[in-house]
Amino acid sequence: MTKSIKRFLACFLIAAMLVGMTSFTSAEAALKVPGNCRFASWANSSFTSCTIKWDSVQGANSYTLVVTYTDGSHYTQYRTSSTSYTLKNLEDNHIYIAKVRATYIDPVTGVVTNQSNFSNIAFITPLPRRLSITISNESRIQAKLSWNTIYGCNGYNIFLSKHPESESKWVWDQSTSA
């Protein structure tokens, strides 16, 4: 009888050690998706550099930012420990999309051990830089506007102002796909 108790205790101890070495990942341990991924500002007036921001995630020590054209091409990935990133060398005639995921990188091994899903998409949309105006009829105040194409967009909104130096005086006039 004592032999079977010893075997039982030995099996119990082995099972307890195996369970103790196994880590269980619960839903609470998973990293949350970074919220409020957004275009923050242009870093220059030529629309080739901008800042993207997002909310911090508890338990994350790194973030992975992915930037592409709207069709998914020109994929670029950036890693930062901050909750913002300034992108550089963007093309001034393309719309980009950006999304971010929270990651935990093991400080000893440098390996990503946990990561969230991707955040919402933030659009990076430059303004047309080259605008030309042709007055076609001064008496009826008609003008033809043309500007450089912004690839990835499906239309343009035209705003007018009698006082262009004042930001509050611009009024939407029309939309066009051309």
Q: What is the pLDDT along the chain (178 residues), one digit of tens a residue?
A: 577 777 766 666 666 665 555 444 444 478 999 999 999 999 998 999 999 999 999 999 999 999 999 999 999 999 999 999 999 999 999 999 999 999 999 999 989 899 999 999 999 999 888 888 888 777 777 888 889 889 988 889 988 888 877 777 888 988 988 8
CB half-sphere exposure, 89, CA atoms < 13 A: 2
- Provide the 8-state DSSP code for 135: E
The pLDDT assigned to 27 comes to 45
Alpha-carbon distances of 73 from 41, 93, 96, 167, rounded to whole Å: 23, 15, 10, 35
In a 3-state reduction of DSSP, which class is residue 147?
A: strand
The DSSP output letter for 126 is: P
Burial of 39 (0-12, 13-18, 19+ CB in 10 A): middle
Looking up tokens 């099996």 gives 11
Look up the pTM and report it. Answer: 0.73
CB 31 within 8 A of CB 57: yes
Query: For position 32, what pLDDT does the model report?
Result: 96
Residue with tokens 């998973």: 30
Give residue 17's pLDDT. Answer: 63
Cα–Cα nearest to 54, from 103, 105, 115, 102 = 102
